Amino acid sequence: MEKQKITGAEALMRSLEHEGVTTLFGYPGGAIMPAFDALYDHKETLNHILVRHEQAAAHAAQGYARVSGKVGVCLVTSGPGATNTITGIADAMMDSTPIVVICGQVGASMLGTDAFQECDLVGVTQP
C-alpha cells in the first residue's frame, strides 16, 4: 500500500471529521487560508458557518457547544484574528464549555521575529 501525501490542512480536516465534528464557525484570513481551502473539499461533512468577526466565531462555537452537547470549533487567522477570540475563550473557560480554537500562525522559521501578524497566542491564553 502506497503512502498518500497530504497537506497539514487536509490532515486537520480529516482529524476534525474523525473526532465527529460536523459544524465549525470561522472567518478566513491569510495565515489560515490553506485550512479554508481544504475545508471546501469537505463541505459534504463539515458545515462551515461564516461569521463577520472572529469574536463571533468563538462565541458561536461556545453557544453551539452549550446547546448541542458537542465540542464547539472555530477557525480563524493569526495575530489580530486569533486575539479577537480571547473573550470567547475566557468565557468558555469560566463556564467549562468545551471549545477548540484553531488559528493560523506565521511559518515556524518566522516565529520570534516579530513577523507580520505573529502573536504568542499560547502565552496570551494561559490561565
Taking only the tens place, the pLDDT of each residue in 51-89 is 999 999 999 999 999 999 999 999 999 888 999 999 999
**Domains of the chain (ranges, CATH numbers):** 8-125 (3.40.50.970)
The residues facing 103 across adjacent strands are 76
Residues 12-45 have pLDDT tens digits of 999 999 999 999 999 999 889 999 999 999 999 9
81, HSE (Cβ side, Cα atoms, 13 Å): 25
